[in-house]
Amino acid sequence: MMYELTEEGKKYLKEGLPEKNLLKILPKNIQEIKDKQIAIGWAKKNGWIEIRDGFVSLTDIGKKAMKIKTDIEIALEQIEKKGISDLNDILLKRKLIEQVKETKVHKPKGVLSSVMKLFEKIFHKEKTIEKKELKEISQLTPELIKSCKWKEIPFRNYDILAPAPKIHVAKKQPYIQFIEDFKEKLIALGFKEVRGPLVETSFWNSDVLFMPSDHPARGIHDILLLKKPRYGKLPDENFVSKIKATHEGGWITGSKGWGHWNQELAKQLVMRSQTTAVTARALKKYGDVPGKYFCIDRNYRRDVIDYKHLIEFDQFDGIIVGEKLNFRELLGSLKEFFRMIEINEVKFVPSYFPFTEPSCEIYANFPDKGWVEVGGAGMFRPEVIRPLGIEKSQVLAWGLGLGRIAMIKLGIKDIRDLYSDNLKWLREKEMVK
């Protein structure tokens, strides 16, 4: 099968490839480049150029490519001389060559026939000699494999300096990698991962945590309510009665409670606003025995979106259950979590939460932002743990905004960038542990 150059192929052979000519005029504004669609497309695919702020500049690979003859240029010369090259597929794809059409010829008779036969013998002999001429194979094509010519023709020596297309190695998304590495560290410390439903009843999301029925955080401005179905089922009646008694009068906890409890509100279905609901379920399931549990999962709130707030976000919740635990051990555990991911600038500020006492907020130092709150922590109150069946032990609890912590670790200034589809950032971002 023979080929010949198209008009475009002849032009490139004479004047040079657009992508090669592009290298000679760089750096340059992208708007000032002729035939920029073809030239930039192939030069970028070969890794010869990079584009920043509207300007095109050479890469190190591009500088080396300027000094050598590329495989495409060699292939165009081969087509011009012999009608075949090692890169037929690529040249056809770029429409630089086309197949030579065969025409039917009526065989002459008599003397003319004898002359033509003699001419064919001579021509065949010349073609045979031509085929025996040594040439190099730069790319193994299907034609060379089928004809077994690759056995007869030597391969070109591999040039380690020759330009090659840039290959991007597959890797995990940086934020997902951060979460998975963090989970591995927690499991190595003896923690057990627990999970819970994203759609939760207000009973588990708020009431079990001793959050009063009229607490501001339960309002429509914070929690996302389900429209259909609107209500869910409560657990067994005995457990529900303990929660009700605790809210209304303190039950056996020594508290006075809140003086009221709304059972209909407790049935309401919400998008989970805190993974503390998951750790509360874990306490109910595993009971009054020593243990360490964590949950890293999605939560939902009606926040105003900015550099540190999203409507849906990831939270790292955890509890430690054991006898004679104290607040100092809680702070020590939190410091260890930050230390193991190499975040050292953290501080604790006294605070209030309905379900913990004593309580604190945790702040971390953000580059260019200053001190930013990244979570809350405390010791679960008796009003929380006694209805859940915890009588002998104390429970250390915390809830940290994992997205904000990841911002520091990954060196980004906007929490929305954790979910970026910017391929350049995703490819170039170094993995951190």
The token pair that represents 126 in the structure block: 């010349």
| Pair 51, 30: CB distance under 8 Å | yes
Taking residues 59-70, report their average pLDDT. Answer: 86
CA distance 4 to 96: 9
Instruction: Let me know the angle formed at the C-alpha of 214 by 211 and 216, rounded to the nearest 5 degrees.
Output: 80
Q: Class assignment of domain 174-428?
A: alpha beta
CA distance 344 to 250: 40
pLDDT tens per residue, range 325-347: 999 999 999 999 999 999 989 99
Cis check for the bond before 216: say yes or no (omega within 30 of 0).
no
Taking residues 388-417, report their average pLDDT. Answer: 94
Report the Cα 190 to chain-centroid distance in Å: 28
CA distance 362 to 351: 10
Name the 3-class secondary structure at 271: strand
When comparing pLDDT for 391 and 125, which is higher? 391
- pLDDT-derived band at 130, boundaries 50, 70, 90: very low
pLDDT tens per residue, range 224-259: 999 999 999 999 999 999 999 999 999 999 999 999
pLDDT tens per residue, range 288-332: 999 999 999 999 998 888 999 999 999 999 999 999 999 999 999
Q: Which pTM value belongs to this model?
A: 0.63
pLDDT of 148 strictly over 90:
no
- In the chain, domain spans: 3-151, 174-428
The token pair that represents 101 in the structure block: 């059409």
- pLDDT-derived band at 432, boundaries 50, 70, 90: low
Distances (CA, A) of 233 to 19, 87, 163: 67, 69, 65
Residue 403: Cβ-neighbour burial (10 angstroms; 0-12, 13-18, 19+): buried
When comparing pLDDT for 330 and 114, which is higher? 330
Q: Which DSSP symbol is given to 392?
A: S
